[in-house]
Amino acid sequence: MPSRPATPYFILYIRDHGVDVSSQTDREIVPKSALIDNVEAGYVVYDAEGRSWPPRYSRLEHGFSWLTRLAAKTVYDPLVEVGISWTLVGSYELGALQDAFIDAVKHDNDILTQWRDEDKIVARIERSLTYDDLISVWEWIQACPDDEEPTDPPSPKVSQPA
């Protein structure tokens, strides 16, 4: 039985209606406030092998002082490197990943839709038949439009008589 998700995997941020793709399986860099708030309790990871995993970040045994908690919420929230532990909870259907991906796009705050139209993203997600198709949609979303080839051939130039 595997001890960690196959990469790359989708991270679904259930509470925030978000989505990301990652390949980190052992360590992650997160804001200290994320550890204080136990944010990963609202995360679900769907991997390329059809398995579902909740991540768990390692924490200090003694927790966080009230001063650290206050500072992380107000003035100073440093990034810290933490270990990740994984527990396999089962499998998922591709449709569940598509639905979560579409939900993230519909709740997006100009991150996923920065360069792409929401309707076009949703259409590509709905047309996806495999996990790799969804990874391709993710890569397409992340690519600046100037980085891709045009989909329509250029129109022929018509010469004007002199």
Average confidence (pLDDT) over 14-31: 89
Q: 153 falls in which pLDDT band (50, 70, 90)?
A: very low
Please say if the pLDDT value at position 157 is more than 50: no
10 Å CB burial of residue 69 (0-12, 13-18, 19+) is middle
* Contacts (Cβ under 8 Å, ≥6 apart) of 21: 8, 9, 10, 11, 135, 138
Q: What is the pTM of this model?
A: 0.78
Q: 156 falls in which pLDDT band (50, 70, 90)?
A: very low
| pLDDT of the residue at 155 | 42
What's the CA dihedral at 40, 44, 46, 51 to 10 degrees?
110
Q: 152 falls in which pLDDT band (50, 70, 90)?
A: very low
**Domain boundaries along the sequence of the chain:** 9-91, 94-147
